[in-house]
Structure 1
């Protein structure tokens, strides 16, 4: 009897802003991801559990908050608290392999200093020899075969931070020599192989972008005119009433001297990078159609976290729990199950994808997760006990360990900054999160309610902050 379980294609981008694929977002051309939203469901309130690569990706793999899987900061840094995942933690890759799925993985990894996707139920197909991963040299060999060798000195119109880090540039190569094109090409090759296999497949492609440096070739490098870029409303940030680390990060990231003109050029390059990736996603979606796999394949797209790109005058990410970096895109297409063009406004988390993939593929879901399957939502049913808020956390990066917790209800956001002033934002009246209302007397009841709910979450997830954090928030 034929196996009726669906195939799954999962596309994870690296540091993609939520609003780039939102209908009311800035004018960024993403027709292919828009197609995915049009044919499936777009989640309006998807959030990462933490805005740092290794931690978020480990949560996605395990369905656990960082404080429970232990990988609380980036694994490539010298101050990594836990450079590898404990081997006894269940992961969705291993769960799918156990029930007979053909699991393959391409691109960025960044979950473990000494581990690879092969350690977690996947057959790793290569493509990650940058962004802190040096698993293989496949992309370098691909470029060499094309006769393309470009280093930073050959890049055109480069933009650097004050301390010399590359932010953006034009890459003088053909589109076919870019990493996104290469990853799409390898994905299509694997889809062809999987189409002829007997077992259902789960394939994951992790693009190494639109994470900085925003280095793209023509026509993407000049696709967006800096003179037409409108800076985000949060660029009006004054840091008044905010934790001191917010302003410190402007200097730490080396963008103190960036003015409106420079930020417009950076944003234009970032959007060009986004459209380049979108076009490659389109090539993959077209291949699914051409191979006759569309009706039998669930397609999901998300990002590990977002990117400031000038929001709040910041670059990259850090101990700032703003929408720019915590709100993430999430679209899922499941023909015959998900209603085309639907929009879901319930709060969901990136690590909810772990049990979701298992559930969709009829694999057992482990006990003790900090996540729950989105399958009921995909089938058009919202359980009565679905949470009304999301909680995220942060433990630090190369700037130093800086503990934060955030609870987000849709209307309000409360941020617990253990070493500094807390934050409270009314997202209805202040979507740019410019005014910290933590001491405003009119919001005392809101502040108290969110603190109590955050304490309940700490106890419910065995947060190590639950003892003294509860005292501080009481």
Structure 2
């Protein structure tokens, strides 16, 4: 471990949302009110090209902890499901949290976990402060007790404007719960409660109740479906004023068959735009509700004099279709809607305010980043690279230049992602993406190639287009390089297929 002075190392606040789309807070995106996220962007750096290594909850969260791609840590699908490949992470795997604890950081955690069926944040060095419930990880009853004390027990709220998947979207007996308006007040929501617990942790540190610099992780349960929000957020956005995204024109022509199959599987074949717009309005309202809770947290940092010595990071585990490509939730579709994520970092005194980083980065690069911030060596097992060089240079990617006799390592110009299947069974997907192109390897079906500059909605699969033969070859070579570099176990078979493909 590198020398680290507890008096100078920054505190870190990580705010991780669940299934938040990149475009919701991006310039030029939909008209979603996100003042707190916008503030982080204006006072720090906003990453334009941040991607999750996999668009499924447990796998992405395990990658964030371990700094590894999913094939490295082995949690390939959701740990709570009966078909989970790995219910818990191997105890011997290094994690950024355990390394920070060993280096003298005080770690606290509120909210969603979902990175181990029998494990909890406490198994990875965090002091758990509550906020979970029976949604995938029944860690404690803190939120239920909170609601009982407020006289609004969980499960007793009235719901209106309910939407479900299936042939009868208004029938509770059918399908998956998509969206609704809840009768509870804002202070009764889990988002508000998680912010309260986070503020409690901040105040505890400010009062000197805890030793050393702190790392607090606040994991919000939204805007993951069901998009259930109270007023005024439920009616903040008018469905009649929401226009379909360009990708809503999806025909699935020339796409893998599973894309169209997923419409029926998710139960949204019969959804028209009016229904999607109603659901999307609730999704946006959910994002704004959470953003306002982040605003309260940022104010607490300021009020307790901790803002200047605390790094604040906002990210999401992955995105959400929310009607794009006419899809619901996520799945074996490697579009930017679910793979591109928001990422903002505010680091007073280090990050230049209002910076924009165009370098492609991964969610689990944060694992290495947190360690470098804390003066801790990054374990060799990590498939992550620290973002600190990008943060220190205002978002400029490190180039192959000689500085004082040392050659700096070039920043990759692409990202790598994967998917291993879910309820449909196991199958192999790999994706490589540059600023211009995206290539998706689909083991059991046709591959995909998109020209992101001319077709940002990813509607036209160019995999067989003769004019893109050179691009296809280049992107396949990039994918082979990523698989070899990360010791992807499928590289033995897949690389042979890619190398011999026309």
Q: TM-score, normalised by structure 1?
A: 0.99
| Correspondence list, 1:39-78, <5 A | 39-78=43-82
Judge conservation of contact 2:80–2:117 (CA < 8 Å) in 1: yes
Deviation at residue 152 of structure 1 after TM alignment: 7.6
- Please give the per-residue CA displacement for 1:2-44, whole angstroms capped at 9, x wherever unaligned: 7111100000000000001101110000011100111000000
Mapped to 2, the partners of 1:350 and 1:223 lie a distance apart of: 30
Mean Cα displacement is larger for which, 65-74 or 124-133?
Answer: 124-133
Aligned-residue CA RMSD (Å): 1.1
| Of 73-82 and 394-403, the range deviating more from structure 2 | 394-403
Measured in 1, the distance between the counterparts of 2:154 and 2:363 equals 35
> 1:140 aligns to what SS in structure 2?
helix
- The answer for the alignment partner of 2:109 in structure 1 is 105
1:379 alignment partner in structure 2: 392
**Equivalent of residue 151 in structure 1, options 146, 155, 176:** 155
Distance in 2 (alpha carbons) for counterparts of 1:444 and 1:423: 13
- Counting only pairs closer than 5 Å after superposition, residues 59-208 of structure 1 correspond to structure 2 as 59-149=63-153, 151=155, 154-162=158-166, 163-197=174-208, 198-208=211-221
Partners of 1:286 and 1:4 lie apart in 2 by 22
The offset of 1:268, in angstroms, is: 0.2
Q: Do structure 1's residue 272 and structure 2's residue 276 form an aligned pair?
A: no
SS at 1:353 equivalent: helix
Change (3 A) 1:152 1:415: farther
Q: Secondary structure at the match of 1:428?
A: coil
Equivalent residue number for residue 422 of structure 1: 447
- 1:446-457 to 2 correspondences below 5 Å: 446-457=471-482
Select the residue among 278, 297, 316 that pairs with 1:284: 297
Task: Tell me if the contact between 1:131 and 1:208 (Cα under 8 Å) persists in the aligned partners.
Answer: no
2:6, 2:290 → 1: CA distance? Answer: 35
Match of 1:444 in 2: 469
| 3-state SS of paired residue (2:218) | strand
1:317-375 Cα shifts (integer Å, max 9, x gaps) = 00000000000000000000000000000000000000100101112211132110000
Residue 362 (1) aligns with residue 399 (2): no
For residue 108 of structure 2, give the secondary structure of its aligned residue in structure 1: strand
C-alpha separation in 1, matches of 2:46 and 2:430: 26
- Post-superposition offset of 1:401: 1.4
Separation in structure 2 between the aligned mates of residue 105 and residue 294 of structure 1, nearest angstrom: 19
Q: What is the SS of the residue equivalent to 1:396?
A: strand
Maintained 8 Å contact 2:157/2:183: no
Give SS of 1:10's match.
strand
* CA 1:2–1:82: 2 relative to 1, 3 Å: closer
Measured after TM superposition, the shift of residue 153 of structure 1 is 7.7
List alignment gaps of at least 5 residues for structure 2: 167-173, 400-409
- Matching residue of 2:268: 255
Counterparts of 2:135 and 2:61 in 1: how far apart (Å)? Answer: 14
Structure 1 spans left out of the alignment, 5+ residues = none
Following superposition, the deviation at residue 210 of structure 1 comes to: 0.2
Deviations 1:52-73 (A, max 9, x none): 0000000000000000100010
How far does the alpha carbon of each residue in 1:182-239 deviate from its partner, in whole angstroms, 9 at most, with x for none? Answer: 0001110110001123411000000000000000000000000000011111000000
Aligned equivalent of 1:306, options 312, 319, 324: 319
Pick one of 26, 29, 47 that aligns with 2:30.
Answer: 26
- Moved segments of 4+, more than 6 Å: none
- TM-score of the superposition, structure 2-length normalised? 0.93
Work out the CA distance in 1 between the residues paired with 2:144 and 2:369. 35
**Residue 14 of structure 1: aligned partner:** 18
Paired residues in the alignment total: 474
**What is the SS of the residue equivalent to 1:355?**
helix
Q: 2:361 aligns with which of 325, 339, 348?
A: 348
2:457 maps to 432
